[in-house]
Amino acid sequence: MGTRRRGGFLGGLIGALILLVSVGGAAWYWLGWTVDRQKAHIAALESARDRLMSGTVPLRFMVLSRGGGEIRARVRLYDADGSEVAVAEERLPGEELYIDFILVPLADARGPRDPAAASGEAWAAFPSRLFTDRLPAAEGPSLFGHYDRSGFPAILAAKSQRSDERKLLTRLFAEARRLASGEGSPGSEGFGSAVHELASMARFETGVVYRVVSRPKGGIEIMEDRP
């Protein structure tokens, strides 16, 4: 009787120890996985920030013709390495051309309710729409579809890009598209600083190629694309 009792006690003790070791092992594995994931995310943030801080030229454009109350324009989109991604040509009512950009700070990629301020951060610039003095921005042709590659913004693609960095930029692109579509407003889902920025000049000359430069701190600048 006593032997059976001791055997049952030892069996229960061994079972408890096995369970404890299993739980401890699982916790250790989860902790290691969490740390590795955090390191990968930080590396992706640093890589994306370095790339954006160097400035990018996401597009060049030319007003092909202007007259009869209409503008015909051609836009060429480029990736971070300077390779052409797509070409779009549009006829728009009006006399003056504008390009709407959605700017999202890299700080927003750190996750919802992150306390990090966007001040001094790099910004990702996403060309959104073309519009004119007669065509409202909300009705202008969208540019997103020209560089959307299964949710990834091809204008920020680079040969040396990490997969984690691509995931991060995909998340920023999704936020830019959400904001541009009118689904919510800046500040929802943890994004607190995304803004619209217009690329415009007093008047674009016909037949002149202009380039749009996205500055690291969020500015958009247009200049003639001289050799």
pLDDT tens digits along 129-139: 999 999 998 89
16-47: string of b/e by CB count within 10 Å (b at 16+)? eeeeeeeeeeeeeeeeeeeeeeeeebeebbeb
pTM to 2 decimal places:
0.71
Check residues 37 and 177 and name the one with the higher pLDDT: 177
Q: Where are the domains of the chain?
A: 50-224
Check residues 132 and 12 and name the one with the higher pLDDT: 132
Instruction: For residue 74, list its beta bridge partners.
Output: 62, 89
Q: What residues contact residue 87 under an 8 Å CB cut-off, 6+ apart?
A: 74, 75, 76, 77
- Per-residue pLDDT of 172-218, as tens digits, reads 999 899 888 876 554 444 344 456 666 666 578 899 999 998 887 76
Return the percentage of the chain with pLDDT > 90, whole number. 35
What is the average pLDDT across 24-47?
52
| Mean pLDDT lowest among 6-20, 46-60, 130-144, 185-199 | 185-199
Residue 113 Ramachandran class (φ > 0 left, ψ -120 to 50 alpha, else beta): left
80-116: string of b/e by CB count within 10 Å (b at 16+)? beeeebbebebebebebbbbbbbbbbbbbbbeeeeee
pLDDT of 105 reads 83
Check residues 7 and 210 and name the one with the higher pLDDT: 210
pLDDT of 187 reads 44
Mean of the per-residue pLDDT values of the chain: 76
pLDDT of 122 reads 79
pLDDT of 91 reads 97
